[in-house]
Amino acid sequence: MPIIPLRNMTKGQKGIIHRVKASGELGRRIRDMGLIAGTPFQVRGRAPLQDPVAIRIRNFTLTLRNNESDFIEVEVDEDI
C-alpha cells in the first residue's frame, strides 16, 4: 500500500495512519487527539481556502493545518 503525507490526500479518501513524524508540542497534540499509527480515518473536506483539512477519526471530526498534516504519513488503500 502506498504511503503518502496526509496533505496530499483528497476529499473522501480513506487511509490508515502509518507514522507521526512530529515531536515536541505538535507531536504531543497530534497524538493526544488519537492520531496513532494504525488508526483508520477519512478526509471529510477542506476549508474554503484549501487549508485546514478536516478528517473523521475515532468518531469525531478533527481539523488540522496543511503544514501540520505534513508530519503525518498515511497508508492509503489505493491511488485515487
Partner 1 sequence: MSDPGEYLIALAGNPNCGKTTLFNAITGAHQHVGNYPGITVEKKLGYCQAKGNRLQLVDLPGTYSLTAYSLEELVARDFLVKDRPRTVINIVDASNLERNLYLTVQLLELGIPILVALNMVDMATSRGIDINWEELGRRLQVPILPTVARTGKGKEELLDAAVDLAVENPSWKPLHISYGPDIDPVLDRMEREITAANFLTEFLPARWTALKYLEADEEVIRNGKETDFRLSLRLEQYAEEVTQHLQQTLDSYPEAIIADHRYGFISALLREGVVKHAHKADRLFLSDQIDRVLTNRFFGPVIMLLILYVVYTFTFRYSKVPVGWMEAGFSALGGFADSMLSEGPLKSLVISGVIDGVGGVLGFVPLIVFMFLAIAFLEDTGYLARVAYMLDRVFRTFGLHGSSVMAYIISGGIAGGCAVPGVLATRTLRSPRERLATLLTAPFMNCGAKLPVFAMLIAAFFSAREAQVMFLLTILSWIIALLMAKLIRSTILRGPSTPFLLELPPYRLPTFKGLLIHTWERTWQYIRKAGTTILAISILFWAMMSFPGLPEVDRAIYEQERASILAEAPGDVRPYLEGAGTPADSVKREVETYRERMREVDFEQAQAALRNSIAGRMGTGLARVTQFLGFDWRTNVALVSGFAAKEIIISTMGTAYSLGHSKRGEEIPLSERLSKDPSWNPLKAFSLIVFIMLYAPCLATITCIIKESGAWKWGLFSLSFNTVAASIASLVVYQGGRWLGLG
Which residues are at the interface with partner 1 (CB under 8 A)?
A: 14, 19-20, 23, 25-34, 36-37, 39-40, 42, 44-45, 47-52, 54, 56, 58-65, 68
* Residues whose CB falls within 8 Å of the CB of residue 42, separated by 6 or more in sequence, listed in order: 12, 13, 14, 15, 55, 56, 57
- Please give the Cα distance from 17 to 34 (Å, whole number): 10
Nearest to partner 1 of 2, 29 (CB atom): 29
Shortest distance (Å) from residue 16 CB to partner 1:
12
Partners of 3 in the beta sheet? Answer: 75
State which residue, 4 or 63, has the beta carbon closest to partner 1.
63
Instruction: Tell me the closest approach of the beta carbon of residue 15 to partner 1, in angstroms.
Output: 12
